Structure 1
Amino acid sequence: MSELNKTHALLITLGLSEEEPFASRTLSFSALSSSGDVDYAYRFLSKLTNPPNFGWNYVIRGFSNSKKPEKTIRVYIQMLRNGFSPDHMTYPFVLKSISRILNRRIGGCLHSGVLKTGFEWDLFICNSLIHMYGSFRDRVSARKLFDEMPVKNLVTWNSVLDGYAKCGDVFSARQVFDGMAERDVVSWSSMVDGYVKSGEYEEALEIFDQMMRIGSSKANEVTMVSVLCACAHLGALDRGKVVHRYILDECLPLTVILQTSLIDMYAKCGSIGDAWGVFCGAFVEETDVLMWNAMIGGLASHGFIRESLQLYHKMQESEFEPDEITFLCLLAACSHGGLVKEAWYLFACLKESGVEPKSEHYACMVDVLSRAGLVKDAYDFMPEMPIKPTGSMLGALLNGCINHRNLELAETVGKKLIELQPHNDGRYVGLANVYAINRRFGAARSMREAMEKKGVKKVAGHSIIDLNGKSHRFIAHDKTHVDSEHIYGVIHLLGTCMDLIVHNDANEAYHCVCS
């Protein structure tokens, strides 16, 4: 841009700045180039005596790809007021901006404008409209437009598929996916991402495996981020390592988002060393706050409390400004480490940084105090908050009261929780446990009865382990697994061995295992 400024100044001096092709080249570079400045293009366009129609399209397109998509609407309105008519190149980028800012009212007005100007069946514009309605989670309008279109292409199918995926309707998305005559990487990525967003992580990995088997489309950054997210939620470390190897083998660009996803995956799968390796392998100038947050949160979740705080200070030294997620990770670290003073200091830093604390930050402070045994302080802290106590806050306080045997306060908090969340099975169970610990078995039984009367059923907890690339799900007393007989045999053996060790008969325990 500095070179363009000099050239533009010379053109103005020579009286050539509004002449073709100088004006169009100036607008094109400043509005569309990755090195450009779309605000500069807008100022230049506004000063032209006879601005060309394509000049408005350049600026609209530039703002649609920028961090300020709302400015696209302003330019579009000014274009209309100046007597210029939008064409088939104008609408798609305005619609793209509306999809980003999620303004339904303006979206509806623009659709009306498309109909009035006779572009209702322009393929490029229709695809943009379907994408817009999908972003609004309005699958009915997206599907209606899809069904009415006289001509469809792959982008059309991908747009309606992505719309269903964004709405969490993976059943309809899968129907569209299975009905596609051809698919590209966008099709596969939308389907993988749809399953991930719906919490169906195994299905997401199955689709990715199918994509790899067919081999017609090469995975890109978007695909890999979704796949890594599925691995992280399943704790599938082996799968995650295979995905990492694929990224390296295929020479996919290690963008900030992809490296952040790798760090998050390794941390959630229990391999904090690998997460640290990815983090250290990134150039500091190519990192951003998301990557630092992932590493700080990963260290904290693995018990490296001091290390996470040290990394926070290093982050500041590297001139990266912490955001609300950074402080959330740090407060969670203090909670697990019992660092009350440090938590209060960070909470003060959060306010001083100009970031308004969210409910999650207040919940972390309640958790810090509760875990440290300062349950009365936590209880007194909640009325001082500018927001009402949430279930997570009261739940953290209840656990603190139980762990530190303040059963009187635990009963008070437990009753508040049931009032706040009357259909949450865990709240009744929590209060019943308080009564049971206090040997008030009649009151504990009445909690169970109250659950049944209100039709609240206890959801069975489950655990998932990953073995040889396959996930296995278990609940208490589960005998549906194909290897359940062998599993219970091993559990029985371990119990027998522990009994022998408790009775100081280690030799017999050793022989028991060997046999």
Structure 2
Amino acid sequence: MGKLSPVNGSPNLNYYLISFLDRCKAMSELKQIHALLITFGLSEDDSYISRVLSFSAVSDSGDVHYSYQVFRNLSNPTIFNWNTIIRGYSRSKNPNRSISIFTEMLRTGVSPDHLTFPFLAKASARLSSLQHGVAVHNCIAKTGFEFDRFIRNSLIHMYASCGDIISARKLFDVMLQKNLVSWNAMVDGYAKCGDLIAARETFELMPERDVVSWSSLIDGYVKRGDHREALSLFERMQLVGPKANEVTMVSVLCACAHLGALEQGRMMHHYVKDRALPMSLALRTSLVDMYAKCGAIDEALAAFHEVPIGKTDVLIWNAIIGGLATHGLVKESLLLFKLMQSWRISPDEITYLCLLSACAHGGLVEEAWQFFKSLSTHGMTPKIEHYACMVDVLGRAGQLDEAYQLLDKMPVEPTASTLGALLNGCKMHGRLDLAEEVGRKLIELEPDHDGRYVGLSNVYAVARRWDDARTLREAMEKRGIKKSPGCSFVEVGRSLHKFIAHDKSHPRSVEIYLMLNDIAQLMKLDDDNQTQESDTGEDR
């Protein structure tokens, strides 16, 4: 190759440097090449520096702060250099820096081009700042780029992400040449705003669809809680749509987790493996969460241990710690938390919710107090959910007066979740006097919630205060409140079946009720036999 020095006059110097920059894989490599550029006096040569800026600002292995330091040392940065830094910060943890750098660019007299504004729109979208977004739109109008399709699509996405779906739709409707990106921006916008009717209508009108179209709508149904429709749409996608990607599968696995559809979740795991989809950390976290929520804790642990610890983040640790806690594996969840700390992965507010839940299941009051106090130690403010968990810990342990005092000390008024946790503790330990007080507060807080009346009515029933229970039921009826029927899901093969009490809508309801009657008769016979055996034993 020869020495890379301008002294030897090598004609291949430019070729080698460009080649090294184009093949660069890590910041450590980039810094070595950058050091060579400085040594050779090429630190202002744009053909090299533009590549240094691009890798450090935009690459997944880059460092946008390093890119900015290089940029600051340029005597005369080009518009491409400015755009690179603006783009880098628009996708970073500090997207607001894109706006401030753009402002600085205008002050230095550099005019933006058609590539500048999509990055600014993206930064505004990630900030959910309609104020910044409108300001960017005004700049676009003044510079004459408003009819650029790429910019128009970015604006549609920005307005939708900021919750202004009406402005997004106006821009979409006046577009003369809509492309797939335009349609996807509207579907995703409606889905993010929770308007699944409009999202579905727009989706069905699309002249063509790609994986982004399907994924946006599926995720919209998941976010709204319509998990069965999300899975139904995925099945349709498998028949007529493109191959799902890892983003699609994160949403699908989330739907399986909420439905408790273990067999479907396993099938989705096989789908991922069979199609060799990239196993992103988000996808691995979804697998852990799905298996844990579906009751397959061993498979959740297996999915967790497949990830090298050095490549984990707090989200996947939260999923497994929370899963273990839910299954009553308290010691295991706390041991995993210690391992997480040993790897210097900082816990977040969700981590502490999982730990408090573990303590509640294990009756670990002292440990729960330590975790609760650790929130403030680590610079976090306990939220209402943490108070609810702590009340649950104390309530389960029978420390009801302490739980009541904690509610009194809360910086905000108690919510239904905190009062509900205390009510459960009161019923568990027979503190019916306190249960009545808490039950009445719950009704005052949510006077139209059927569960609040039923909860207090059950308290009266336990205390055999039948008149009070009847009076409460009558008050509930006068307000026109009806008890919502509970439902359950049963997974058979690939199908989920929904059942409601006294419901006969299932196509095989006659057979189901006959079977239930047979089971009830068998249980009655078994109970009678046990009673007879008990009586015979006493006679002897």
Question: TM-score range, shorter-chain basis?
Answer: over 0.9
Comparing 461-470 and 9-18, the one that deviates more: 9-18
Aligned to 1:305: 330
Q: TM-score, normalised by structure 1?
A: 0.94
Aligned to 1:469: 494
Distance 2:531 2:300 in 1: 39
CA contact (8 A) 1:500 1:506 kept: no
Aligned to 1:178: 204
Distance 1:478 1:22 in 2: 71
Matches within 5 A, 1:85-100: 85-100=111-126
- Alpha-carbon offset, residue 26 of structure 1: 3.1
Aligned to 2:192: 166
Aligned to 2:228: 202
What are the Cα deviations for residues 305-349 of structure 1, in whole angstroms up to 9, with x where unaligned? Answer: 121112111222232222211110111111122221221122223
Aligned to 2:472: 447
Q: 2:214 aligns with which of 163, 188, 194?
A: 188
Q: 1:252 aligns with which of 277, 282, 287?
A: 277
- Alpha-carbon offset, residue 125 of structure 1: 0.5
Comparing 138-147 and 441-450, the one that deviates more: 441-450
Secondary structure of the 1:21 match is helix
Matches within 5 A, 1:473-492: 473-492=498-517
Q: Which amino acid aligns with 1:125?
A: I
Comparing 61-70 and 255-264, the one that deviates more: 61-70
RMSD (Å) for aligned C-alpha atoms: 1.9
Distance 2:532 2:180 in 1: 69
- Alpha-carbon offset, residue 408 of structure 1: 0.7
Aligned to 2:93: 67
Comparing 486-495 and 77-86, the one that deviates more: 486-495
Q: 1:391 aligns with which of 416, 419, 426?
A: 416
Comparing 333-342 and 74-83, the one that deviates more: 333-342
- Alpha-carbon offset, residue 2 of structure 1: 4.4
Aligned to 1:512: none
Comparing 233-242 and 489-498, the one that deviates more: 489-498
Matches within 5 A, 1:52-451: 52-214=78-240, 216-451=241-476
Aligned to 2:9: none
Comparing 155-164 and 78-87, the one that deviates more: 78-87
Comparing 151-160 and 427-436, the one that deviates more: 427-436
Distance 2:35 2:347 in 1: 40
Distance 1:394 1:18 in 2: 65
Tell me the percent identity.
Answer: 56
Distance 2:367 2:58 in 1: 47
What are the Cα deviations for residues 353-393 of structure 1, in whole angstroms up to 9, with x where unaligned? Answer: 22221111111000011112211211112112223211101
Comparing 460-469 and 144-153, the one that deviates more: 460-469
Q: Which amino acid aligns with 1:433?
A: N
Distance 1:221 1:10 in 2: 39
- In structure 1, runs of 5+ residues without a counterpart are 509-515
What are the Cα deviations for residues 376-428 of structure 1, in whole angstroms up to 9, with x where unaligned? Answer: 21111211222321110101111111121111111111111111112211111
Distance 1:28 1:426 in 2: 57
- Alpha-carbon offset, residue 198 of structure 1: 1.6
Comparing 479-488 and 360-369, the one that deviates more: 479-488
Q: Which amino acid aligns with 1:195?
A: Y
- Alpha-carbon offset, residue 14 of structure 1: 5.5
Secondary structure of the 1:88 match is coil
Aligned to 1:41: 67
CA contact (8 A) 1:234 1:466 kept: no
Structure 2 CA distance for partners of 1:35 and 1:488, relative to 1, 3 Å: closer
- In structure 2, runs of 5+ residues without a counterpart are 1-26, 534-540
- Alpha-carbon offset, residue 12 of structure 1: 4.6
Bigger relative contact order, structure 1 or 2 (CA pairs below 8 A, ≥6 apart): 1
Structure 2 CA distance for partners of 1:318 and 1:11, relative to 1, 3 Å: closer
Distance 1:181 1:255 in 2: 31
Q: Which amino acid aligns with 1:253?
A: P
- Alpha-carbon offset, residue 450 of structure 1: 2.0
Secondary structure of the 2:499 match is strand
- Alpha-carbon offset, residue 6 of structure 1: 4.9
